A and B are shown apart, each in its own frame.
Chain A
């Protein structure tokens, strides 16, 4: 009866992932909201500015990345909130499974639902800014790598502000400084791709940031959520 765990950490993480995807499927409003926000904010720029193609092309990387950053912030607010409120995170912490692995599974699901759609829609929005079709792979790669980093680092902030009633504003203040490198290299990679030049260097740096975040962020997020659960 002193049951040892019959389920490995990987299977447990998969169970969390499938559950979160199913929940998202039942309530699509939650994860389509950041996507709609991103598209609206970024597409407002051409309307507010002179419809000068050269100007729009110059502005596109900045508009895309600021839009991505703000949409990610909006999405992060509900990464852990509901699970924290209904006691699910406590059950995760007491499951005997590595807490950081379960939270990583949640973060991965969150990226699949918000980061990935943003990264896919991003290049299409770039086309509206007059980006050449040849720029799409570079822009897509930059947004994919950047959004991975944003979700992972964002999980730390979401964990820290979990116990707060209105954590949204604090979340942005905490995270924005940490996300500046991603913003700089991401915008630079997008700019180079749109100019038809090699974006390899900023892309490698974005990749390095994403790997660093993948290594450290789950542990930091687990520690942050534990503090918030006390």
Chain B
């Protein structure tokens, strides 16, 4: 379970997060539909530990996430705005090297994930640079699905995705939640997950 209590964050003169608190349970997703510039990305970065909150607690499985950052990070996958792919490498090489930091996965699993993300049919020699933004996002989704992380922090995962791409995202997310995973999704589009425990949170002031 992820629990956030009394989170305050200032960015320059702006008091972005004002005592924010919520919990996300196993198998549940919380969707942040806040307007632009209200701190969605900052909240995700705070939880990931990339940004230091001014005060407040972030608890993972009942313990402060900062107490054992390595264990917390091993359980976490952060999909940022930038897909963190190398343009000069192929999709498969990108997956191989990013997974090389965390998990052992065979080539077959990598190919299957690319297939599931809808980019398996592309020329395997093609560098990711020549992919469209949506196709790059799909490669990033394939990587996300392979990490085996318990907690997903997704920043605008549906950006640049067409209808089929959004279906892939919904499919990956549903499978993740069904397996007991948690997700925090910052988005404008709003991901549709029929039948899944998905809560919406429309402004930072509203209670989650």
Interface residues of A (CB under 8 A from B): 1-7, 11-12, 14-16, 18-19, 22-23, 26-27, 85-88, 90-98, 102, 229-230
Extra pairs beyond A87-B82, A91-B101, A95-B74 (18, CB < 8 Å): A3-B148, A6-B102, A7-B100, A7-B102, A12-B102, A16-B100, A19-B86, A19-B89, A26-B88, A26-B89, A26-B127, A86-B84, A94-B48, A94-B73, A95-B102, A96-B71, A96-B73, A229-B50
Q: Can you pick out 7 interface pairs between chain A and chain B where the beta carbons lie within 8 Å of each other?
A: A4-B71, A7-B100, A7-B101, A16-B97, A23-B89, A94-B48, A94-B49
The answer on a CB contact under 8 Å between A23 and B50 is no
Of B76, B83, B104, the contact of A6 (CB 8 Å cutoff): B104
- Residue B138, interface by CB 8 Å: no
Question: What residue in chain B is nearest A26 (Cβ atoms)?
Answer: B88
B86 & A102 in contact (Cβ 8 Å cutoff) = no
Of B84, B88, B149, which one neighbours A90 at CB under 8 angstroms?
B84
Q: With A86-B85, A87-B83 in contact, do A3 and B51 touch (Cβ < 8 Å)?
A: no
A3 cross-chain contacts in B, Cβ below 8 A: 74-75, 102-103, 147-150
B196 at the interface (CB under 8 A from A): no
> Mostly helix, strand, loop or mixed at chain B's interface?
loop
Q: Which chain A residue lies CB-closest to B84?
A: A87
B88 x A2 contact (CB < 8 A): no
A97 touches B101 (CB 8 A): yes
Interface size counted on chain B using CB atoms at 8 A: 38
B102 to chain A, nearest CB (A): 6
Q: How far is the CA of A73 from the CA of B92 in the complex (A)?
A: 33
Q: Is B70 an interface residue (CB 8 A)?
A: yes
Chain B contacts to A: CB under 8 angstroms: 48-52, 70-76, 78, 80-86, 88-89, 93, 97-98, 100-104, 127, 147-150, 179-181
Do residues A88 and B84 form an inter-chain contact, with CB atoms below 8 A?
Answer: yes
Q: Which residues of B contact A27 (CB under 8 A)?
A: 88
Contact A92 B101 (CB under 8 A): yes
Q: Which 9 A-B pairs rank lowest in CB-CB distance, beginning with the nearest?
A: A15-B100, A96-B74, A87-B82, A87-B84, A3-B148, A96-B73, A19-B97, A95-B101, A26-B88
A2 interface neighbour in B73, B75, B82, Cβ under 8 Å: B75
State the Cβ distance, B155 to closest chain A Cβ, in Å.
10
Would you call B148 and A1 a contact (CB within 8 A)?
yes
- Within the complex, the shortest CB–CB distance from A203 to chain B, in Å, comes to 37
Cβ contact within 8 Å between B82 and A86:
yes
Chain A residue at minimal CB-CB distance from B88: A26
Say which residue of A4, A102, A230 sits within 8 Å of B101 (CB atoms).
A102
Inter-chain CA distance A98–B150, complex, in Å, is: 20
Quick one: closest B residue to A230, CB to CB? Answer: B51
B-side contacts of A94, CB under 8 Å: 48-50, 73, 76, 78
Q: Which residues of B contact A12 (CB under 8 A)?
A: 100-102
Pick the residue among B86, B104, B181 that contacts A88 (CB under 8 A): B86
Most buried by A among B51, B70, B89: B70
Contact indicator B179/A1 (Cβ below 8 Å): yes
Of the residues B75, B76, B80, B102, contact of A87 by C-beta under 8 Å:
B80
Q: In this complex, what residue of B is CB-closest to A19?
A: B97
Measured between C-beta atoms, what is the minimum distance from B186 to chain A in Å?
15
